[in-house]
Amino acid sequence: MRVSVTVRAFIELLRSGHGRRPILQLSAVDLRLGNGVDSRSRTDSGLDLESTPGFSLTDMRETQSSSIADVAELTGLSQDTLRWYEREGILPRVGRSASGHRRYSERERELVLMLAALRDTGMTTEMMKEFVALLGEGAASHGRRVALLERARERLAEKRAEIERASTALESKIGHYQELIAAGLDCDGAPVTEEVRTLQTARE
């Protein structure tokens, strides 16, 4: 699947201040998905990697890629969640090593980071799946991406309003009990004994 190069900028926008580790970088040999790297890739010095004894481009890819454990640690998503995303088609099928284990390229890591960011906004898995599909359509899907993100923004605004209502209720209840403690009253407004008053002010 071809993912837009704007994914990195999108991740940084959504995840600003989240404190997660920075995106891993590839070496000078550009092995990112969909960039037209020829199978006879060369380094800056012109060395033909495919003809170098004891070294293959596949080895290079596996060295530069990340395991599912690494990606789970990087993104904060569990390994089970990553596997489920792939099974459900939210995340395109991840490349495998010669031994059959998942190996995430830089682009795939960026895509998972983006999915983690979208999930943090409260976006549903169906919306995430739709967004990834839109990425594959290139610039022609920009307007539809905006529309989908606006829907996510509306959901986030609703959740924010719910949190504000809950916070207001908590503050009201805290204030009520603080007033009772200050006045030495029980919940019915009657004065408490000295023994109860000592207990009334305890926090533990």
Residue 31 has a pLDDT of: 31
**DSSP E strands, the chain:** none
Residue 59 has a pLDDT of: 43
Residue 24 has a pLDDT of: 36
Residue 148 has a pLDDT of: 96
Greatest C-alpha distance within the chain: 90
Residue 66 has a pLDDT of: 87
- CB-based burial of residue 13 (10 Å sphere; 0-12 exposed, 13-18 middle, 19+ buried)? exposed
Residue 63 has a pLDDT of: 53
Query: What does the alpha-carbon distance between residue 73 and residue 69 come to, in Å, rounded to a whole number?
Result: 6
Residue 89 has a pLDDT of: 87
Place of tokens 């409260």: 122
Distance of CA 150 to the CA centre of its chain: 18
Query: Which residues of the chain are under the pLDDT cut of 50?
Result: 1-5, 17-62
Q: Is 90 within 8 Å of 129 (Cβ atoms)? A: yes
Query: What does the alpha-carbon distance between residue 180 and residue 105 come to, in Å, rounded to a whole number?
Result: 60
Collapsing DSSP to helix, strand or coil, 115 comes out as: helix
Which residues lie below 8 Å from residue 48, measured CB to CB, with a gap of 6+?
40, 42
